[in-house]
Structure formats: C-alpha cells, structure tokens
Amino acid sequence: MHSFEFMEPTTLAEALRLLATHEDDACVFAGGTALLLAMRQRMMVPEIVVSLGRLHDLRTIGWTPAGGLRIGALARHGDVARSELVQQHYPMLAGVAAGLANPQVRNQATIGGNLCYADPATDPPSCLIAMGAEVTIAGPDGERRIPMRTFSVDFFTTALEPGEILTGILLPPPDPQRLGHYRRHLRTAAEHRPVANVALTARRVGSAWDEVRLVVGAATPSPQSMTRAEAYLAGRAITLDVAAEAASLVAEELAPISDGRGDAAFRRQVVRAATRRIVAEAAGLDWKETAA
C-alpha cells in the first residue's frame, strides 16, 4: 500500500477543516474495511487519510418516541444489530445489520462508511430507503438533512459534496401499523455479497396496504424504488396472484447491472422471485406452494 498521512481529528469541526484544507488529496476513513481494500488495490491513492475514529459522539445510537432513531454514522453494523433500541423498535434494520457480511466485518465496518462508499453489492441502503430514513450531513456551512433515497446516486457515488461528512441516519418514529420485510439473495450459498435484495414496508389499512415502499438493492447501480409495483400494491388485498403480478411489474421496471456474479437477465429473474416472496411473506402467505 502506498504511504499517506493519517490524521485523527478529535472534533467534527477539526475533521471538516482538514477536508477543506486538503480538498481532493484527502479522504475520510471510518471503519476502513472497504477503503483499505481500495487503497491496497490502488483504486484509491489519497495522500491524506482523515480518520473519524476519535469522533466518539458519532458512534452513539439514540431514540426518542417523538423523534425516532438517530444512528451515528460511525456505529458499526454489529452495534446496530445488537442495539436493544434498534431490535425493539426497528427489527427489520436490526436483522439486516445482523446478517450483513460476516462477524468480523460487522465488528469493523460502520453504517456511515457503508453508505458513503456506495458499493451497490450491499444491504443497508435499500433497507433504509424503504424505512423512510434521512441522513444528516455536516459541511463547511453547517448541517443539512436529506432523504436517504436521494443520498445514493450511482455506482460508488453519493450526494455528498466535497468536504462534507455523513454524520448520522435518522429513522422516523416506529409506526405500529407499518410492516417491514427484507430479503437478500446470494447467487449461491457460498457468495459473500448479495446479488440482489428487496426491502418492503407498508402501512396496514384493514386487510390492505397503503404507503407502500418497495426498494431493490444490489441488483442496480444504486437502490431503485419500484414505483409501479408500489402503486399497484397500494389499496389491494394481497393474494399470491397479486404478489406474482407485483413481481412482474418489478421485473419490468428494474434496470439491472451485469457483472461477474450475474448478468442483467439473471438479476431480473432473481429480483422477480424475491419480490413475489417478500410480498407473500408480508401478507402471511406461503410462497413455496406455487411457482410464479
């Protein structure tokens, strides 16, 4: 690995100042698991590495009934998974964090680092978008707050401006009527990263759903909201046929990527299957009985 200057600011202001001073020469280092790989493969060669490791405030996870959940950007996936607050109020997120990568990486990698790196082959972004998350971003001119769905932009690209630091993730207060389900699909059981994932949340209104959010991740350059299926599912009694139709709509709308773990056609097929299953599952139906 090339040599670089390693800086460990102790305040957010100092960190922002360092980024402002060194501009393009600097990069932000959180858990480091993805960044170190990129640096060792010389995909990234920053001269200055600004570690956020000493910004302990950014590791906390807090919850209030009115304000919802705030996860510091430096909370590790394991912290999120093991947080009683998250387990109690946002079990969908706790489950995603607990199943991410492997135990070692969950003890190292941070949720903020995950979002900022914007590698498509991961789970949190689609899950957070479906949960209606927002993110807070600190910059030279103060803090801004944007919806998670506008944060993930493209392959390895986010809405962060130069000199900005992601500071936290906000989740709205839990709604007892809101259901949430998540499915990650590995191409084979020996894979380490998802080839596709689907996140679904919706408000129960009687026997039907409202405010449906259906988001596909890992199969697309950045998470894709499946608007046609969302509209189709809203207000409808869910049957296996409805689940299958929603899956078809998703398969049509999806703009999948092709790579070594699966071409576009394969990803489309996998997402179709995962969508049918997640919709059926959320409605308490057994998807195993009939093939789509």
Partner 1 sequence: MSGHKLSLVVNGERVEADVPSNRLLSEFLRDDLALTGTKRGCETGVCGACSVLVDGDVVKSCLSLAVQMNGREITTVEGLGRVGALHPLQQQFMEKGGLQCGYCTPGFLMAAVDLLKRNPNPDDAEIREGLSGNLCRCTGYQGIVDAIRSTAEAGHGA
Partner 2 sequence: MTVSVVGQPMPQVSAQEKVQGRAVYAGDIKMAGMLHAKLLRSPHAHARILSIDTSAAEALPGVKVVVTGDDVPRRRWGVHHKQQNVLACGLVRFVGEEVAAVVATTEAVAQDALELIRIEYEELPAVLDIDAALSEGAVPVHPEGNVVDEINIARGDVEAGFAAADIVHEEVYTTHSQYPGYMEPMATVAATDGNGRLTVWTSTQSVFLARQRLAEALDRPISSIRVIQATVGGGFGAKIVEERSSVIAAFLATKVDRPVRLNLSRLDDIQSGCFSVPMRIRLKMGMTRDGTITAKDVTIEAECGAYAGLSPEVMLVTAMRSDNMQRLENVRSHARMIHTHTMPRGAFRGFGGTQMSFALNSHMSTMADMLGMDPFDLHRRNAIRTGDLSVHGWEIGSCGLPECLDQVSTALDWTARRARNTRCGVLRRGVGMAAVMHVSGNRTMGNWDGSTVVLKVNEDGRVVILTAESDMGQGANTMLTQICAQELGIPVSHVTVQAPDTDNSPYCLGSLASRVTINAGNAMLGAARQARSQILEAAAQKLGCEAADLTIADGVVHSGKNPNLFAPLPEICRYHIFRHGGEGILVRHTHDPKTVMMNKEHYGNIAPAYSFAAQALEVEVDTETGQVRVVETYLSDDCGKAINPLTVHGQSAGAAVQAVGWTLYEELQMEGGRVMNGNLADYTMPTAEAVPTMHSDIVETDEPNGPLGAKGASETAILPGAPAIANAVYDAIGVRITDLPITPEKILAALAAKEQPHA
Can residue 290 be called a binding residue for partner 2 (CB under 8 A)?
A: yes
Please answer whether residues 214 and 224 qualify as being in contact, where contact means their C-beta atoms are separated by less than 8 angstroms. no
Q: Which does 36 bind (CB under 5 to 8 A by kind): partner 2, partner 1, none?
A: partner 1
Can residue 185 be called a binding residue for partner 2 (CB under 8 A)?
A: yes
Q: How far apart are CA 55 and CA 83, in angstroms?
A: 19
Can residue 284 be called a binding residue for partner 2 (CB under 8 A)?
A: no
Q: How far is the CB of 9 from partner 1 (least distance, A)?
A: 14
Can residue 66 be called a binding residue for partner 2 (CB under 8 A)?
A: no
When the beta carbons of 175 and 191 are compared against partner 2, the nearer one is: 191
Among 33, 126, 197, 220, binds partner 1 (CB under 8 A): 33
Tell whether the torsion through CA atoms of 36, 41, 42 and 44 is positive or negative.
negative
Among 22, 82, 89, 193, binds partner 2 (CB under 8 A): 193
Helix %, strand %, coil % for the chain, to 5? 35, 25, 35
Alpha carbon separation from 286 to 51, 113, 177, 205, 248 (Å, rounded): 47, 37, 22, 21, 18
**DSSP-derived pairing of the beta strands 178-185 and 196-205:** antiparallel
> Binding string, 94-123, against partner 1, x = CB under 8 A?
-------xxxxx-xx---------------
Alpha carbon separation from 85 to 65, 123, 196 (Å, rounded): 11, 20, 28
Q: How far apart are CA 189 and CA 60, in angstroms?
A: 33
Q: Which does 291 bind (CB under 5 to 8 A by kind): partner 1, partner 2, none?
A: partner 2
Instruction: Pick out residues in 39-98 that bind partner 1 (CB under 8 A).
Output: 40, 49, 51, 53, 78, 82
Instruction: Pick out residues in 241-260 that bind partner 2 (CB under 8 A).
Output: 260
Which range of residues in 30-38, 112-120, 156-164, 242-250 is near partner 1 by CB under 8 A?
30-38
CB-count exposure of residue 17 (10 Å: 0-12, 13-18, 19+) = middle
Instruction: Pick out residues in 155-194 that bind partner 1 (CB under 8 A).
Output: 192
Q: Which does 139 bind (CB under 5 to 8 A by kind): partner 1, partner 2, none?
A: none
